[in-house]
Structures are given as C-alpha cells and as structure tokens.
Amino acid sequence: MNRVLLPLLTGALLGGVPACFDGPQEGVPFGDLASGKISCPTRAYLLRGLWDYYSTGLNGLQDELLGAGVTAEAISGADWPNLLPRVVELYANQGATETLVLVGHSYGADDAIRMADYLEEYGLGVPLLVLIDATRPPPIPPNVDRCVHVYVPNVLGDEFPDGFAGNPVEAKAGNTHTEVVNIPVSSATFGEDAAEIGHLNIEAARAIHAFVMKELELHCEATSAP
C-alpha cells in the first residue's frame, strides 16, 4: 500500500475520517515541557511525515530545541536526500563536533533511518536517533549508537505489521552495536496523557516533546561523564 493511502486509512479506521484533517491538537494537556538548556553542543534534524501536514508538531519541537540551545531544523522527510550532502559536508569535510541527532515522525521516521543508513557509507555515525511512531521502518544500521522509538500500538499494526505504524523497530541483522529502545505509548509510560495520543498527533504532544528533550540531555550527561 502506498505512502498516500496508509495515513488516510489509519486515521479513518482508528480515529474517524475527520481526524485525518484536524491536524495537531493544540492545547491538549499532554504534560509539562522540558525546560532549561541542553548541556552539550547538539545539532538536530527533524524529518516530517507525509505531505508535511501530519507532522507539523515537529515545527514546534524545533522551536523548543532552538530555545534550549540546540541547532535544530525541521524539514520534509522526503527531502532527506537533499539534506544528506549538507550533513556530510559539515561532519566529514568541515569536522563539525556537535552531536548529530535525527528525529522523525511517521514516514519521516522511516526516512530518518534511511538517512542514517546512507551516512554509514560516508563513515559517519549517528549518536542518537529518535523515532516517533515510524510507519514502515527499515532496520537500524550499526552506525547508530542509540535508537529510541516511541510508538502507538494499534489493531492495524498488530494485524498488518508490514503496512501500518504501531510496531517496534529492530536492528539490522548482525548489528550488535546499536542500543535499540522501543517504548509503547501507554498509561504505564506516559500516564493519563497516553489516552490522548495517536499517530496523527503524537509529534505535537507536549509529553513527547519533553521526552525528546530528556533524551538529548541524557546523551549529553552520558558523554560528559568521566
């Protein structure tokens, strides 16, 4: 099934057709935003999903990251082939030292994995890969140090794992390097906020934004520890 029909069908079956067109639910009480500054130099690229419409919450996350001192840029996930040479130029040719972080939602999460895969060909690593409800994710390549995937389990994903979001990601065969962490959205992981989070608004959820910020700061703490 193609990239156009999948999100529409998912929204229609799981949340009703109007949910496909409502966009991010601004003001829904998903929890407190992370505050303060990220304590190490970090550059984050945020890859939006289909048509950019379903992932506009990443624009807000970009602004929060900028406010926390992170060099952040949200782009269309489909534009990752154009982003790739820029990243290669920065890190392979200019020797950039900022921690490279890739974040993606839905098809943008799938594209973030593909971009990481291509970066391996240039000898570049991805210290942190954050995936938000990936749709049809490829396996995680070994040049990724840590991959965290927050996803929303659902009946379509259970029945058709190769066609719909809602399933864990896996490392490539033979990849024993990457720490892969899959976190299902539930009351156990995100409390009462979980009931309000679905595939079409997860990237706009304040609890998810706070989670991403925390992941960046945890990476800083881990790399700065003696």
Cβ proximity of 134 and 109 under 8 Å: yes
Note the residue count of the chain.
226
What proportion of the chain, given as a percentage, has pLDDT over 70?
84
Q: Band the pLDDT of 6: cuts 50, 70, 90.
A: low
In this prediction, residue 75 has a pLDDT band, given cuts at 50, 70 and 90, of very high
**Domains, the chain, ordered by start:** 39-224 (3.40.50.1820)
Residue pLDDT, tens place only, 201-226: 999 999 999 999 999 999 999 988 76
Q: pLDDT of 143-197, one tens digit each?
A: 999 999 999 999 888 888 777 899 999 999 999 999 999 999 999 998 888 999 9
Question: Could you report the per-residue pLDDT of 114-143, keeping only the tens digit for each?
Answer: 999 999 999 999 999 999 999 999 999 999
pTM, to two decimals: 0.86
Residue 99 has pLDDT above 60, yes or no: yes
Higher pLDDT, 17 or 8: 8
For tokens 């706009």, the residue is 204
Which ranges in 16-153 belong to alpha helices (H)? 19-22, 57-67, 80-88, 107-121
According to DSSP, residue 93 is labeled I
How far apart CA 53 and CA 11 sit, in angstroms, is 13
